[in-house]
Chains A and B, each alone.
Chain A
Amino acid sequence: EVQLVQSGAEVKKPGESLKISCKGSGYSFTSYWIGWVRQMPGKGLEWMGIIYPGDSDTTYSPSFQGQVTISTDKSISTAYLQWSSLKASDTAMYYCARRYYDLGYYFDYWGQGTLVTVSS
């Protein structure tokens, strides 16, 4: 069974750093791209970026380029999303999702989400 399990909720102060994780299981982790999606409180879904664990090839949405870093450790089938200096506006739910290709791209499996709260 394909599963993406994300790390738990975080409460941080502005200016702090943070790294959240997404562990894949039940499939060949290095063969599928993993994307990150932000959902701000009461808002819609926003694509942040995507990484291929096989070679760490990464593409960022222009809206998030330079704001976050996406990485992976294929030895433990885990993808990461990190911030070096959080802002209050980073408060959101963050989802990882596996990208599948079948004559088109879509996210077929999603993690349960990690809630990040940034508040002084």
Chain B
Amino acid sequence: QSVLTQPPSASGTPGQRVTISCSGSTSNIGSNHVCWYQQLPGTAPKLLIYRNNQRPSGVPDRFSGSKSGTSASLAISGLRSEDEADYYCAAWDDSLSGPVFGGGTRLTVL
């Protein structure tokens, strides 16, 4: 059971906007920044969002992140078939002195 809670699945049609939620606690999301990773099938995870809402160079602005209290969310607008992947939220946990991950959300583009 993962420390951060995400829905196991999400779906949308091309062009739609989808959001993925991530719930934690005061020791992780509540006191530290959230990041998101995208894992395309058969590949290593890739940093998608850091510091709650910042995009690394090369990540399209269709991807956006937000955080409020002990929850965070990832939004993907203008959904494309190549967005079909697993998405993981993560945050540093002060109790663990290490990062904790969500269980992952599999996004299907219908």
Contact = CB atoms under 8 A, between A and B. Distances in A.
Is chain A's interface secondary structure helix, strand, loop, or mixed overall?
strand
Nearest to A60: B98
A45 B45 CA distance: 9
A114 B47 CA distance: 19
B55 interface: no
Nearest to A95: B44
A110 B48 CA distance: 12
Given A110-B44, A110-B46, A44 B101 contact: yes
A102 B44 contact: no
Interface string A79-98: 00000000000000001010
Interface residues of B, number: 26
Interface in A92-120: 95, 97, 102-113
Given A95-B45, A104-B33, A110-B46, A45 B96 contact: no
Interface of B: 2, 32-33, 35, 37, 44-47, 50-52, 54, 56, 88, 90, 92, 96-104
Contacts of B101: 44-47
Contact of A44 (B47, B50, B56, B88): B88
A61 interface: yes
Contacts of A110: 44-46
A113 B96 CA distance: 24
Interface residues of A, number: 25
B51 A103 contact: yes
Nearest to B44: A110
A112 B39 CA distance: 12
A111 B46 CA distance: 10
A102 B51 contact: yes
